[in-house]
Structure 1
Amino acid sequence: MSNQDITPPQVITCRAVVCWGPDQPLKLEEITVDPPKASEVRVKLLYASVCHSDLLGSRGKPVQVFPRILGHEGVGEVESLGSEVTGFKIGDVVVPVYIGECGSCSNCKKDKTNLCLVNPLSLNGLLRDGTSRMSAQGKPLFHFLSCSTWSEYTVIDASYLVRVDSAVEPRHASFLSCGFSTGYGAAWKEAHIEPGSTVAVLGLGAVGLGVIKGSSILGATTIIGVDLNEAKRGKGEAFGMTHFLNPNQSEKSITELIQEMTGGMGVDYCFECTGVTGLVSQAVDSTKPGGGMAVIIGAGDENELHINFMSLIMGRTIKGTIFGGIKPRSDLPVLFDKCERKEIQLDQLASHEISLEELPNVEEILKEADCVKISIKF
């Protein structure tokens, strides 16, 4: 049966959490979700999760477009398909991604980048034709990046979807659609960590724990986790961390503490996962002269930073990454397979499970000391 033979999908009314303006409270609303157009898929969410980038979105980052439905991590089932969609069928379990992979553009053919030129990162909150499929109170709602997962249903261009192996637990698949995969990929695809390397990770949220796990699997022998929250020590150790630093317990800088722990030399790789711009220069200075690399993963409120140019002249490098260098359709199946074979176990990542009704209070939940990753069950 072709997609054209299927009964045309209808408008759906469902619930979603809407952000009506910068720094305004999140509100649970009844919204309308239109049918998918030719190249699009409508997805019924099973789980979504919370990333700090969503909170940046609630403050109008990276662009001021409101009202909007946040959320870019999730997993769901294909509910309906546009007439031109191939490679998916109704009932498929899929995760959204915010960059695509066409496989044929000059960037997709290179190993050094995951930024597809045909299916780029979208920041305007609209789908390819410049419109939205979601509305509430008679007003169109902007999507977040290439999707909006804080909704019972969402519409996504098929180029930004990846099918999930049925053996992967849905909640874990949601975590792999951004945060953990971003960290793991930064170690694997960006830093290309070698066996015997020394690594420092600033910030032990889902991204930082992903870096730790990737570094451990790739053979790093010293993995230093840095966080102000003592409760993160156990989480880091569960994913392969060998040493833990809490900067609040010393008057020394993070750089000094890492250098002391590495015989004064610094680490081969330092990953900045918090988005705090003041930590970027410390990440650079925490690496070895003549070859150390700082990988910047976290996004923050500030767009500019200051770095001591002497640190770079001494042979260090600084590298930015989006989605950890992961190519969605080539690389995510590798992580799904590692989960299936228990090489990656994400149970330790999941700290809170909430309902859509509880989501408007998410910032308060994130402040809890034991909070690592929040999943939203639909």
Structure 2
Amino acid sequence: LYIYICILYYINNCCRVVESIGEGVTGLREGDLVIPAYIADCKTCETCMSEKTNLCLKYPLSYNGLMQDGSSRMSIRGQTAYHAFSCSTWCQYLVINVNFLLKIDPKTPLPDASFLSCGFSTGYGATWKEAMVQNGSSVAVFGLGAVGLGAIKGAKSRGAIKVIGIDNNPMKAAKGRAFGMTDFINPEESDKSIAELVKDLTAGMGVDYSFECTGVPPLINEAIQSTKLGTGKIIQMGVEEPNVNINIIGLLIGRTLKGSIFGGLKAKTDLPIIYSKCKNREIQLDELLSHEIKLEEVNKVFELLKQPNCVKILIKI
């Protein structure tokens, strides 16, 4: 029997204080407040120097649970523990390459800083870096968790005039409106398909952009069918299963389906822009925080996630 121990990361986001730095590290010192990301931004490789993608070639996205040098820096009672992506935040200390870190103002509220390392930023970034939402356009957002709420705020900030939020939890309607949602669809309140309900709100045309934030396979096709013929753009951010059935006819008639990691954001290049908007209160993240617990109570998280009012849980380490 083999036991694979992995310290979780992207069930939650985080911010951290630098405890120590390695040899040759510049730009950081002990005591600095940083936001870790799971996408590197080396600023030297072909992709980091371009606008085409945020996927660094020098420090690629890691799926094997190891650091970039092939090692693990963690163990539990003598047994190797593995990293989730490039860092694991459900622990008191983490080891991470400096190219995954954004240094921020030490006066930044810790909840706000932690919410920016994924989740909200992913949705916000997707409207800007991936879809490039245009002024006066229409948008549908599937799933109103932190990613979906970020997409709503991002679309609104780029001038979308109709922003439709879709969730089977009626308590998410208020959250969506707080970030700029104009219309709310609860699929359980109608016998129509979601695509039909979206078209009812858009004079039968569908929206210009759909952002699928759940990964639920049937919703991917609903997101496709909810967009306009010929020009609709669908950004897929959620993942539930590695293989899903896609209605290819829906794409052949001119729509575009694009996958997105971290909303297309680069940690050192783009994330500071979102951070600045939060610091200046252009973006207010208070609505995301629904619960607070201590690290030793972390097992409560899985029950809290089932509560209808849950959006983000702050784990105090």
State the TM bucket, normalised to the shorter chain.
over 0.9
Counterpart in 1 of 2:242? Answer: 303
After TM superposition, list the pairs within 5 Å mapping 1:178-257 onto structure 2: 178-257=118-197
Residues 108 and 115 in structure 1, CA contact (< 8 A), matched pair in contact too: yes
- Could you report, residue by residue, the CA deviation over 1:170-204 in whole angstroms, capped at 9, with x for unpaired residues? 11111100100000000011000011010000000
Counterpart in 2 of 1:111? Answer: 51
| Secondary structure of 1:334 counterpart | helix
Q: Please tell me whether residue 69 in structure 1 is matched to residue 7 in structure 2.
A: yes
Counterpart in 2 of 1:139? Answer: 79
Whole-Å separation in 2 of the counterparts to 1:194 and 1:108: 25
Residues 235 and 260 in structure 2, CA contact (< 8 A), matched pair in contact too: yes
Shifted more, 189-198 versus 104-113: the winner is: 104-113
Shifted more, 183-192 versus 72-81: the winner is: 72-81
Counterpart in 1 of 2:279? Answer: 340
| Secondary structure of 1:270 counterpart | strand
Richer in strand (by share): 1
Counterpart in 1 of 2:289? Answer: 350
Counterpart in 1 of 2:31? Answer: 91
For structure 2, the 5+ residue unaligned runs are none
After TM superposition, list the pairs within 5 Å mapping 1:147-162 onto structure 2: 147-162=87-102
Whole-Å separation in 2 of the counterparts to 1:259 and 1:222: 12
- Equivalent pairs counted in the alignment come to 314
> What letter is aligned with 1:271?
F
Q: CA RMSD in A?
A: 1.1
Residues 59 and 68 in structure 2, CA contact (< 8 A), matched pair in contact too: no
Whole-Å separation in 2 of the counterparts to 1:344 and 1:166: 19
1:166 shift after superposition: 2.8
1:167 shift after superposition: 4.1
Whole-Å separation in 1 of the counterparts to 2:217 and 2:53: 24
TM-score after normalising by structure 2: 0.97
Residues 123 and 144 in structure 1, CA contact (< 8 A), matched pair in contact too: yes
| Secondary structure of 1:156 counterpart | coil
The percent identity for this pair of structures is: 54
Counterpart in 2 of 1:127? Answer: 67
TM-score after normalising by structure 1: 0.81
- Could you report, residue by residue, the CA deviation over 1:33-80 in whole angstroms, capped at 9, with x for unpaired residues? xxxxxxxxxxxxxxxxxxxxxxxxxxxxxxxxx201102421111001
Residues 275 and 298 in structure 1, CA contact (< 8 A), matched pair in contact too: yes
Deviation >3 Å, runs of 4+? none
| Secondary structure of 2:286 counterpart | coil
Q: Please tell me whether residue 163 in structure 1 is matched to residue 103 in structure 2.
A: yes
